[in-house]
Amino acid sequence: MSKKDEKDIKKTHEKSADLVASKKEAKYDASSIQVLEGLEPVRRRPGMYIGTTGPDGLHHLITEIFDNSRDEAMNGFCDHIEVVLLPGNRVRITDNGRGIPVDIHKQTKVSALETIMTVLHAGGKFGGEDTGYKASGGLHGVGASVVNALSIYMKVIVHKDGVAYMQEYSKGKVKAAVKKIGKTTNHGTVVNFEPDLEIFKEGIVFDFSRVVSHMRQQAYLVKGLRITAIDAREYKEKIESNKEIFYFSELGLEVPSQSFCFEGGLLSLVKFYNQFQKPIHKNVFYVEKKAAGVESVEVALQYVDDISSRILAFANDIENPEGGTHITGFKASLTRSLNNYSRKNNLTKDSEDNFTGDDALEGLTAVVSVKLREIQFEGQTKAKLGSVEARGAVEEVFGEAFNAFLEENPDDARAIVSKVILALKARKAAKAAKDSILRKGALEGMTLPGKLADCQSKDASESELIIVEGDSAGGTAKMGRDRKIQAILPLRGKILNVERARLDKMLDSEQIKNLVVALGAAIGDTFDIEKLRYHKIIIATDADVDGAHIRTLLLTLFYRYFKPLIAGGHICIAQPPLYKVKIGKEVHYFYAEEEKVAFFKKEKISDSEVDEAESTEVVAENTEEAETDLPAQAGTKKGPKVSVQRYKGLGEMNAEELWETTMDPTRRLMKRVSINDAQEADKIFDMLMGTDVPSRKAFIQSNARLANIDI
């Protein structure tokens, strides 16, 4: 070993010794290990239990408590559940089930009610049929206790065996022992809770329409169950004088409410989602049957004249937006059955004409529901089913019943197969068109569209693509942008409505082709979000009817063909101001009429002379307060002139105005596009952008008074 090597080794040892010495102060031994007791782990890491502390997690609290009541109904012990939004961010959920047990639990030495509400992994779902639960959505025994842990206030009232019992909690901790509060003729459980602002820092705002949508869906899944949703947040005084009622609806208050009960189950649900569609076959397919290892397999489906598919998945009546093993089994069986029928009846002959899964799904509305005693989800939020036995059970039950349906209903069968053959041909045409575009792009080095003013940065995480309406706004935006991170793509008028267009026709559209190439992530089954060139895509259109139409067309395109962009939070809508108000040298921008009116009122400015169609000058009222807020000019008792400009479009702004109001990342306002309810969004797009004119007309007529139209 050379002397140089010896010196290098010695230096390395010295550095290691110094490093260890420098870290001695940060002791790491048994005392460093924390053991979180009770429900403290939930408060420390709420995302592990409810997914997020944003709006989704907030509404998930309602779902967790509701699911306990729904499990009672699913097993025949309850037929009415009521969900009420109360003043002060409180929620009240009532069921007429058996009522949570209140006797002393052998292990915990406290009441079963207190055990369920304050101990993780404690519940009545582990015993299966011994507790009356053949199937349930709750499987970890953490739902109620998690909601308790994340609530600043919770009260549970149990009506059982002629006696009403009550216990209160805060942040998961008991405030007092379970106590009797009187006699009762009811049976069931009433849960009141108020989420904790320390956890839900974004704010506590429940969306009643979102609650109603979920309750409607659940009513379809449990035949004969009545579910009532009530929004009583505006009736505080009347409510507080009736604290110990059972069903809130007994008060008879005139508050927004909706009640659902469906005897048709999944058949009714499929018809509901197809209400704005044109069915291509008369009979709705339906099967419900028990299978090995599975309590129930239930499937309903119908094909419609559309190019999109809608598949809803449920396991023990819990929605699985990410699908799972039951959907894998359903898709495999569906494709196999359609291929077999078409071959058997000589509807397709060439081996290359085998239907793929995508062919079989086009235009399909289907609901797949399974019920299992022992169920496995991937994660506490239960978005995806992991139970292996579900796949085989669905394949067997659905495959056998669907084959029989095709044989017994030849007219329906031929209509379905014809629809799938059309999808196959369109897929081949679209593939040829797409391959042609990609080949051309590769030969030209993926040449970007000529109208695109690209940004300098190659880092997608900081880059933005701003889609503007028209060349005029495009020119202004190009001059006012931050060239390093902002790219501008002007659109020439309105793009193609993709709701009724297949991929090959879409790619014939120059506007859509330019957008696809600019994004750089391809489209359809070759879409790769990792290749996305801009992590923020901003739609910037005028604040008028045409601008709203263009925005809707773009959102339809993104929803149908680039849904991962919406799911990933990449799509935003710019919020340009409506007014520019100049008081002397001061400039103020307002994004709504109400903001401008409030400002005028505060500053004692009269707007009686304002003509919003063009720039106008008004003067402050000659009052002492006005002169204080708006100093008088020399030689006059009146304050300075106030200039009010009403913007009709982005093109009316100069580059500086557009930058400081709409494009500057430090000052602009934007709305991020999200999908809280994918099924509801799908239904709205079908109605507004599809071919069902009567439904669209009825929607417009019934909602016209809510529109704020600037023509």
CA 465 to CA 538: how far, in whole Å? 6
Identify the active-site residue in 469, 603, 657, 686.
Answer: 469
Among residues 354, 352, 323, 325, the alpha carbon closest in space to that of 337 is found at 354
Known active-site residue 546:
yes
- Three-class secondary structure assignment of 604-630: CECCCCCCCCCCEEEEECCCHHHHHHC
15 CB-near residues (< 8 Å, 6+ apart) = none
598 CB-near residues (< 8 Å, 6+ apart) = none
Q: CB of 711 within 8 A of CB of 545? A: yes
Among residues 287, 288, 284, the alpha carbon closest in space to that of 271 is found at 284
Neighbour-count burial for 296-328, b at 16+ CB within 10 Å, e otherwise: bbbbbbbbbebbbbbbbbbbbbbbbeebbbbbb
Helix axis angle for 410-443 and 325-344, nearest 10°, is 110
- β-pairing, 80-86 with 90-95? antiparallel
CA 689 to CA 387: how far, in whole Å? 38
3-class DSSP state for residue 324? strand
Identify the active-site residue in 56, 358, 482, 546.
Answer: 546
CA distances from 574 to 217, 267, 591 (A): 33, 41, 11
Among residues 204, 188, 261, 203, the alpha carbon closest in space to that of 229 is found at 261
- β-pairing, 670-672 with 486-491? unpaired
CA 218 to CA 200: how far, in whole Å? 26
3-class DSSP state for residue 642? strand
Q: CB of 260 within 8 A of CB of 81? A: no
Known active-site residue 544:
yes
Identify the active-site residue in 544, 595, 612, 629.
Answer: 544
Please give the span between the terminal C-alpha atoms of the chain, in angstroms, as a whole number: 87
3-class DSSP state for residue 150? coil
Q: CB of 596 within 8 A of CB of 581? A: yes
Token code pair at residue 549: 């139409």
**Helix, strand, coil shares, percent, the chain, to 5:** 40, 20, 40
3-class DSSP state for residue 152? strand
Token code pair at residue 525: 């089954």
CA 536 to CA 57: how far, in whole Å? 24
How crowded is residue 383: how many other Cβ atoms within 10 Å of its Cβ? Answer: 17
- β-pairing, 486-491 with 464-469? parallel
CA 247 to CA 81: how far, in whole Å? 9
CA 78 to CA 75: how far, in whole Å? 8
- Which phi-psi region, left, alpha or beta, contains residue 66 (left: φ > 0; alpha: ψ -120 to 50)? alpha
CA distances from 3 to 6, 8, 9, 11, 439 (A): 5, 9, 10, 12, 61
CA 375 to CA 355: how far, in whole Å? 32
3-class DSSP state for residue 524? helix
Token code pair at residue 655: 């580059």
Phi, psi (degrees; rounded to nearest 5) at 62: -60, -45
Token code pair at residue 662: 């709409």
H or E segment at 643? strand 641-646
Question: Catalytic residue positions?
Answer: 469, 542, 544, 546
